[in-house]
């Protein structure tokens, strides 16, 4: 039980997909403009990584090693399409805001990375918690980045105006702002890691 919990926790800080593994930066840069987009993207990716981890670890004995990548991609694409349809049904607004980045979860390297590095070698239960931890780690990273960008870039948090008379720094709402924020946070994470060692 303790080991499973450790599998879950490692994705959140020690092996955080965004700040430590530095995977899946393309959607991170693109959708982290507002916190609501960040949360939506995070939940969608969490569902996909948990689902694909479970299925892949279930059928790992059945998949020949040499064609494992196409098999993984089919499994992942199936989950992404399910997310896409569900999002269209229940939250068309979010679907429109995330745009092309929902179908692009297929090529998010966090998902394929977990299938390749973890799910195909571990039990179903462990893979489930690994996926959950990675997904939540990714979501938290997105929330952190998008909160900084939304507050500085438009003076809002989750769409609510925070303070009156604040002149927003538009740069943070635009792509260069995303690169700056992620770069500085990566540096901060490395600094903290060094100090602990």
Partner 1 sequence: MREILRYGAVLALICITAAFSLSMVNSFTKAKIIAQANAEEQASLKEVLPQAERFEAVKSASEVIYYKAYDNKGNFIGVAFKASGEGYSSTIDTMVGMTREGTINAIKIISQNETPGLGTRVAEDAFASRFAQKKLSMVQEIEAITGASISSRAVTESVAKKAAEIVEIIKNER
The contact set with partner 1 (CB under 8 A) reads 33-34, 59, 62-64, 66-67, 70-71, 74-75, 77-78, 81-82, 85-86, 88-89, 92, 96-97, 99, 150, 153-156, 168, 170, 173-174
Work out how close the CB of 117 gets to partner 1 at its nearest, in angstroms, rounded to a whole number: 20
C-alpha–C-alpha distance, residues 115 and 55, integer Å: 10
The first and second tokens of residue 74, run together, are 């089919």
Based on CB atoms, which residue is closest to partner 1, 33 or 48?
33
30: three-class secondary structure by DSSP = helix
Work out how close the CB of 177 gets to partner 1 at its nearest, in angstroms, rounded to a whole number: 10
CB 149 within 8 A of CB 32: yes
Work out how close the CB of 94 gets to partner 1 at its nearest, in angstroms, rounded to a whole number: 12
Based on CB atoms, which residue is closest to partner 1, 6 or 74?
74
Based on CB atoms, which residue is closest to partner 1, 5 or 170?
170
Based on CB atoms, which residue is closest to partner 1, 10 or 68?
68
CB 142 within 8 A of CB 30: no
Based on CB atoms, which residue is closest to partner 1, 88 or 193?
88
Neighbours of 174 (CB within 10 A): 12
Work out how close the CB of 143 gets to partner 1 at its nearest, in angstroms, rounded to a whole number: 16
Instruction: List CB contacts of 139: < 8 A, sequence separation 6 or more.
Output: 38, 39, 42, 43, 45, 46
Give whole-number Cα distances, 179 to 28, 42, 46, 154, 186, in Å. Answer: 10, 19, 23, 17, 10
Work out how close the CB of 159 gets to partner 1 at its nearest, in angstroms, rounded to a whole number: 10
Strands (E) located in 69-111: none
Based on CB atoms, which residue is closest to partner 1, 6 or 85?
85
Work out how close the CB of 149 gets to partner 1 at its nearest, in angstroms, rounded to a whole number: 8
* φ and ψ of 156, to 5 deg: -125, 160
């Amino acid at each position: 039980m303790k080991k499973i919990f450790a599998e879950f926790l490692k994705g959140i800080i020690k092996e955080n997909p965004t700040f430590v593994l530095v995977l899946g930066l393309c959607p991170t840069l693109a959708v982290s403009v507002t916190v609501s987009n960040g949360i939506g993207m995070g939940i969608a990716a969490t569902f996909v990584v948990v689902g694909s981890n479970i299925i892949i670890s279930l059928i790992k004995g059945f998949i020949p090693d040499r064609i494992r990548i196409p098999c993984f991609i089919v499994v992942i694409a199936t989950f992404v399409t399910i997310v896409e349809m569900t999002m269209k049904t229940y939250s068309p607004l979010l679907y429109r805001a995330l745009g092309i980045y929902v179908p692009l979860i297929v090529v998010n390297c966090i998902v394929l990375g977990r299938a390749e590095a973890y799910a195909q070698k571990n039990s179903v239960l462990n893979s489930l918690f690994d996926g959950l931890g990675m997904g939540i780690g990714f979501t938290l990273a997105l929330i952190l980045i998008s909160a900084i960008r939304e507050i500085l870039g438009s003076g809002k948090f989750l769409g609510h105006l925070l303070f009156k008379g604040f002149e927003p720094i538009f740069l943070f709402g635009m792509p260069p702002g995303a690169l700056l924020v992620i770069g500085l946070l990566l540096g901060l994470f490395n600094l903290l890691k060094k100090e602990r060692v």
